[in-house]
Homo-oligomer: A and B are copies of this chain.
Amino acid sequence: MTLLVVGSVALDCVETPVATRDNVLGGSAVFFSYAASFFSPVRLIGAVGEDWPLEHTKMLQAKGIDTSGLETIKGGRTFRWRGRYLPNMNDRETLEVHLNVLEQFQPVLHDTHRDCKFLFLGNASPIVQLNVLEQAKGAVLTVADTMDLWINIQRDELGQLLRRIDGLVLNDSEAKLLANDENLVRAGHAVRAMGPKFVVIKKGEHGAMFFSEHETYVMPAYPTPTVLDPTGAGDSFAGGMMGHLAAIDRFDQQALKEAIAYGIVTASFTVEDFSLDRLEKLNRHDLDRRLDEYRRMLLF
Question: What is the CA–CA distance of A203 and B203 in the complex, to the nearest angstrom?
Answer: 13
Q: Does chain B have a CB within 8 A of A206? A: yes
Q: Does chain B have a CB within 8 A of A104? A: no
Per-position binary interface string of chain A over residues 189-225, scored 1 when its CB falls under 8 Å from any chain B CB and 0 otherwise:
1000000000000010111010000001111110111
CB-CB under 8 A for A183 and B219, given A258-B300, A299-B299, A300-B254: no
Give every chain B residue within 8 A of A224 (Cβ-Cβ).
185
Give every chain B residue within 8 A of A182 (Cβ-Cβ).
87-89
CB-CB under 8 A for A189 and B299, given A182-B89, A206-B203, A220-B220: no
Question: What is the CA–CA distance of A220 and B220 in the complex, to the nearest angstrom?
Answer: 5
Q: Does chain B have a CB within 8 A of A92? A: no
Per-position binary interface string of chain A over residues 87-112, scored 1 when its CB falls under 8 Å from any chain B CB and 0 otherwise:
11100000000000000000000000
Which of B218, B223, B300 is within 8 Å of A221, CB to CB?
B218
Q: Does chain B have a CB within 8 A of A30? A: no
Q: Does chain B have a CB within 8 A of A117? A: no
Contact B300 A261 (CB under 8 A): yes
Contact A220 B219 (CB under 8 A): yes
CB-CB under 8 A for A223 and B218, given A182-B89, A300-B258: yes
Contact B297 A217 (CB under 8 A): yes
A221 CB, nearest partner CB in chain B, Å: 7
As for how many copies of this chain the complex holds, the number is 2
Give every chain B residue within 8 A of A221 (Cβ-Cβ).
218
Which of B184, B217, B220 is within 8 Å of A218, CB to CB?
B220
Q: Does chain B have a CB within 8 A of A186? A: yes
Q: Does chain B have a CB within 8 A of A257? A: yes
Give every chain B residue within 8 A of A89 (Cβ-Cβ).
182-183
Which residues of A from 256 to 291 have beta carbons under 8 Å from B?
257-258, 260-261
Question: What is the CA–CA distance of A260 and B297 in the complex, to the nearest angstrom?
Answer: 13
Q: Does chain B have a CB within 8 A of A127? A: no
Closest to A209 in B: B223
Give every chain B residue within 8 A of A297 (Cβ-Cβ).
217-218
Question: What is the CA–CA distance of A73 and B207 in the complex, to the nearest angstrom?
Answer: 47
Question: What is the CA–CA distance of A300 and B224 in the complex, to the nearest angstrom?
Answer: 20
Give every chain B residue within 8 A of A185 (Cβ-Cβ).
223-225
- Besides the contacts A189-B225, A218-B297, A219-B220, what 9 more A-B pairs have beta carbons closer than 8 Å? A88-B182, A185-B223, A206-B206, A207-B218, A217-B298, A218-B220, A219-B298, A257-B300, A258-B300
Q: Would you list 21 pairs from A and B whose C-beta atoms are within 8 A, ordered by A residue?
A: A88-B182, A89-B183, A183-B225, A184-B223, A185-B224, A185-B225, A186-B225, A206-B206, A206-B220, A216-B223, A217-B223, A217-B298, A218-B220, A218-B223, A218-B297, A220-B220, A258-B300, A260-B300, A261-B300, A298-B298, A298-B300
